[in-house]
Amino acid sequence: MQDPSTASKLTVDELVPSVYGELRRLASRYLCNERPGHTLRPTALVHEMYLKLATGPTEWHDKLKFLAAAASAMRHILIDHAKSHNRLKRGCRPKKVTLNEEVAVGGEDAPDLLDLDNALGRLAQHDMRKGRIIELLFFGGLTYDECAAVLDISPMTLYRELRAAKAWLYSELTPATRPV
């Protein structure tokens, strides 16, 4: 007889096939904002995420928790890739992106991925939950309701904290106030 506490846990191998298409679409959205000739492809990003998650904690209670972990893993892979590219080619910065759920290409004054990651790190130090909200919505592609469920907060709390997080990030990433 199976232990009831582990009966509802799912492994990476059980979850990936059911969300693979969703992960590929998310990876495609991330990478469409990268510089032309970017060497990382959506399939490679999803596979690297799989390897990262398969070697860590291997059980999740539900699909949303897994997608949250996948979002975090993809964020770190993209940031590591951008840092590696900057080390290899000085002066070449990743393509600039705006901070919204559609991950649309930004204008001239939009922060790049590394600036966004640094600001998210500072936000997480200031308020961990607000940093997680931005990560789940921006990098995870979760809906507001899914994000609220993952964080176990009400949608109204999520909206309130998201507004505050966006305002904080805007002030951090505005060129006039961006750290040098």
For the stretch 6-42, pLDDT in tens is 446 777 788 888 888 888 887 887 777 666 666 778 8
> What CATH number does residue 96 fall under?
1.20.140
| Residue 50 within a domain | yes
Residues spanned by the domain of 19 = 9-173
Residue bearing tokens 């979850």: 15
Flag whether 4 is in a domain: no
The total of structural domains in the chain comes to: 1
Question: Does the predicted TM-score (pTM) go above 0.75?
Answer: no
**Residue 120 domain flag:** yes
* Rounded average pLDDT over 101-123: 66
Query: 95 vs 3, 27, 34, CA distance in Å?
Result: 49, 15, 5
Residue 103 resides in a domain? yes
- Would you state the torsion angle of the CA atoms of residues 89, 114, 172, 72, taken in this order, to the nearest 10 degrees? 180
Q: What is the pLDDT of residue 36?
A: 63
What letter represents residue 113's amino acid?
A: L
What is the chain's mean pLDDT, rounded?
Answer: 76
Each residue's pLDDT tens digit, 36-58: 666 778 888 888 888 888 887 66
Sorted by sequence, the CB contacts under 8 Å of residue 118 that are 6+ apart come out as: none
Assess if residue 15 is contained within a domain: yes
Q: How far apart are CA 6 and CA 3, in angstroms?
A: 6
- 3-class SS at 93? coil
* Residue pointed to by tokens 């991950």: 103
In a domain, 178, yes or no: no
Q: Say if 180 falls within a structural domain.
A: no
Residue 105, SS3? strand
- The pLDDT tens digits of the residues spanning 55-90 come to 876 677 778 888 888 878 888 888 888 777 665 554
What is the per-residue pLDDT for 103? 40
Residue 3 lies in a domain: no
Phi/psi-derived region of residue 109, left when phi > 0, alpha when psi is between -120 and 50, beta in every other case: alpha
